[in-house]
Amino acid sequence: MRASSPQQLLLLSLASSAALLLNSATSTAAPTINLSNLLGSSTTIPAYERILSQPVFQVTTPWGSPYMLFEKYKDEEKAIEMESGNSGSDDTADMDKFSRVQQKDDMQDTRPISLYFMDEHDARALADEMKQMKHMKDSDLRVTCSSLGKAVRSASNLGRGLPTGQGIDDKTGKLLTMDDGGSLRHKVVPSKRELFYAARCAGRERVGCFGDSPNEDADLLLQPQDVIEANKMQARRASKKNTARRIQKARQLEKEGLMESPTDRLRREYAHMEGQVGLPVFYSEGLLKKPPALRRIFQGAKSAWATSSLTPLYFSYEDLMKDWSIMRERSNNKNKIPEKPPQVEVFNMLDVVTSIDKDQWRAERRSELVRDQKGLVGKIPILHNLINTGKKSASKKSGLEKVVFVPSSLGI
């Protein structure tokens, strides 16, 4: 058989590339181009799709399979779950999902997990630590980039986690157990860098910082991981008593006709975060994302800013400070704007996303009820948009429809 010439190989390559492009263009599953941001805003998309632009990082094999780590389930955590009444059936009891692994003379409950890191440096630190192990010295470890949307979808599957792709047991017809590699749980690990900044921001309780002072929380996050985990474990064990004490104090203040302080109210409302760690996003009043250029031209700059400006939530504290400086430099009233934001507030990203999701559901439900009131007219989109029922104030805006997430520049 005669060998192919370079020209023939080039033609074959071009032909195969053209076929792939044609196939993707004609496929019904191909993504459509979204030009709504030219005149509209990007806030009409579902809540969980707004975080797709934020990268996350995994330690994987060369072909992209994540390396499994073994998570310990300590006796203290078992006791907390049993006291909380979470020791239900095999399908619901979280501690029953752990396997018994013999390690030297003691038995430890462990389960395999996969970690998505918000910070690339944290992922590389884990890869370097794994390379120091004797049996992984010659392993080809990679740091693979993925989307935060994928990480959240994977981590939301609790219990036994997600199937790993292992084949079904031929004898039983069931999925292999977690011990045999049939399923794997995933977790999203927040950036220690951003948690350090979050500990000094207003609303730090939303991401699990319950120290007596911001400096105490910030200093803790500079410690090694085992020190942080020991401190968080102690906080989880005391959280139940602290919650009861805060509720009793709030009721007593209400009886006396006194107002609860903002700090005490936050600690009571976010008591479930004591001893836990959240995914921080940062906000500063005065920072807005400008409307699209075409909307400013057609609608007028003043009207466009009033109706189409967006509220950015930053995954990186440093990006927020940088954008504040840029905004100040470009402003005509530079002398009236402080060099640094008066206050930076931190929120838990998962709280924001779920709140947006609920808000969108309420808005959709309200529009369904309005269409039902119009009867047949409401089922015809053109007539439905032309005929108003008279009460537009019923759909009061919450402000969540203007939220947009700004990905960290450190991961791009």
Mean of pLDDT values over 220-243 = 86
Question: What per-residue confidence (pLDDT) applies to 322?
Answer: 93
Max mean pLDDT among 17-21, 178-182, 195-199 falls in 195-199
pLDDT one-digit tens code per residue, 309-327: 788 999 999 999 999 999 8
Mean of pLDDT values over 139-151 = 90
CATH of domain 46-71+112-189: 3.40.1350.100
The pLDDT mean for the chain works out to 77
Give the Å distances, CA to CA, from 143 to 63, 279, 305, 381, 389.
11, 21, 41, 48, 55
The Cα 301–Cα 296 span in angstroms is 5
Q: Report which of residues 250 and 86 the model is more confident about.
A: 250
Max mean pLDDT among 7-16, 187-196, 372-381 falls in 187-196
pTM beyond 0.75, yes or no: yes
User: By CB neighbour count within 10 A (0-12 exposed, 13-18 middle, 19+ buried), where does 73 fall?
Assistant: middle
User: Domain residue spans in the chain?
Assistant: 46-71+112-189, 191-277, 281-411
The Cα 113–Cα 92 span in angstroms is 18
Question: What per-residue confidence (pLDDT) applies to 319?
Answer: 94
Whether residue 226 has pLDDT greater than 90:
no
